[in-house]
Structure 1
Amino acid sequence: MAPSESASPVGVPPPDAPDARPGPGTEPGGALGRVVRAITGIELGVAALATAMIFVLVLVQAFQRYLPVDGWTWTGELSRYGLVWLTFVAAGVLVTRDGHIALQVVDTLRPAWLVRAVHVLAHLVVAATGAGFAWACWTLIQESGNLTTPSLQIPMSFVYALPLVGFVSTAVRSLLAAVLVLRYGIPASRERDALPVSVNGPEQGARA
């Protein structure tokens, strides 16, 4: 085995390899890449704030059991909505970083164009689903009127706004991922706990 082959995991070309191309798990370059990274930072910031809020509110709920006062009902309400915001705001980021739960059984099949077609179809289905849910959120915002939450009196239009942003991000990022897969193919897994095996790559059979 050549020294260059032992320097990288099986199926993953070295960083300076001429055939190393971006894929659906990477962000595009140029101005579009900067926009995507900025939006990703905002979404991750909102998700981090929601996580911290849930943590603090759950602790407050636990301490309330040992205090000689009535419990604050708004803590449970806000923590539940925080979990909703966290879940949907971060959904688009996971699409770009290929972090959603997936079954990779199809990746071992031949021919390679079939695997690529399945991945493109999967991204398109996710994009259509995200667009459908975004439309549903927009409809709920329009129909919520003066409805508010029971404890904090938060307008329901605000409660639905963050999931709307998350679903729009999911739809757009899935379309972008479909284009990247169609153009560049399917990259090797970039997750640390995943098997670093490329999908239908020529080097996979040569090094097996």
Structure 2
Amino acid sequence: MTENTPDGSENQPAEPLGTPPSEQGAPESKFIRALSAVEIAIGVVLFTLIFIGVMYQVLSRYFPAVGWVGAGELALMSMVALTFITTGYLVGRNGHIVIEVFDGVLAGRKLFVALRIISALIMVVTCLALAYEAYVKIDSEWARASAAIHVPLGLLYVFALIGFLSAAIQSAWKIPYANRPERKLDISEMDG
């Protein structure tokens, strides 16, 4: 049903209210929503640390007396940790880099579902291997500290462990829903 607006144009309804379950992406469990919320919260803190570190470096260029060598290290380590911690969130919402060569060719075919299942399984195995390596590195790198702010380097691998475990969980969650459209990264949901 259409309505006329005051300027004489017609208003078309945006979409039907009920989208069939077969056209929806994988539903989010409470655990995945909570995991995503934690990752975003940590990511916001790390992004803030990057901003503070970089702004402090800029300030110290104009006022050398307030210079602190740890500002650059803080920004750099926060950037690395941010990269790791948001891995699972991005994998779960297709915000990571994907090769979509076969998507157009195989769309609507059973091979497309098989391709998505195989790629999700590869992601699970790869992320679990990376999580294991991060776990090993936590112990071996904890004794080493950064030069300026003396943060144990093993702490970076804690962020890697969390991010890769989350990515493995998010990828495994996609497998039963491979025949449905995948969720897309929606920047507006990060607004909080």
Same fold (TM over 0.5): yes
Return the offset for 1:108.
Answer: 2.1
Whether 2:53 is the aligned partner of 1:53: answer no
The answer to whether the 8 A contact 2:92-2:171 is kept is: yes
Unaligned 5+ runs, structure 1: 28-32, 194-208
What does 1:72-83 align with in structure 2 at a 5 Å threshold?
A: 72-83=68-79
Give distance in 1, aligned partners of 2:74 and 2:31.
31
The answer to whether the 8 A contact 2:95-2:184 is kept is: no
Indicate how the Cα distance of structure 1 residues 189 and 162 shifts in structure 2: closer, same or farther if over 3 A, else same. Answer: closer
Give distance in 1, aligned partners of 2:169 and 2:14.
33
**Considering only aligned residues, what root-mean-square deviation do their CA atoms show, in Å?**
2.5
Opposite residue 186 of structure 1, the aligned amino acid is: R
Give distance in 2, aligned partners of 1:145 and 1:55.
26
What does 1:33-44 align with in structure 2 at a 5 Å threshold?
A: 33-44=29-40
Report what 2:180 is aligned to. Answer: 186
Whether 2:118 is the aligned partner of 1:116: answer no
Match of 2:138 among 135, 141, 161: 141
Give distance in 1, aligned partners of 2:69 and 2:38.
29
Unaligned 5+ runs, structure 2: 3-11, 188-192
Whether 2:172 is the aligned partner of 1:175: answer yes
Report what 2:62 is aligned to. Answer: 66
Give distance in 1, aligned partners of 2:132 and 2:95.
24
Opposite residue 25 of structure 2, the aligned amino acid is: G
Return the offset for 1:15.
Answer: 4.0
Whether 2:98 is the aligned partner of 1:102: answer yes
Match of 1:23 among 16, 25, 49: 25
Return the offset for 1:188.
Answer: 6.4
Per the normalisation by structure 1, the TM-score is 0.75
Q: How many residues are aligned here?
A: 177
Give distance in 2, aligned partners of 1:176 and 1:19.
16
Question: What percent of counterpart residues are identical?
Answer: 27
Per the normalisation by structure 2, the TM-score is 0.81
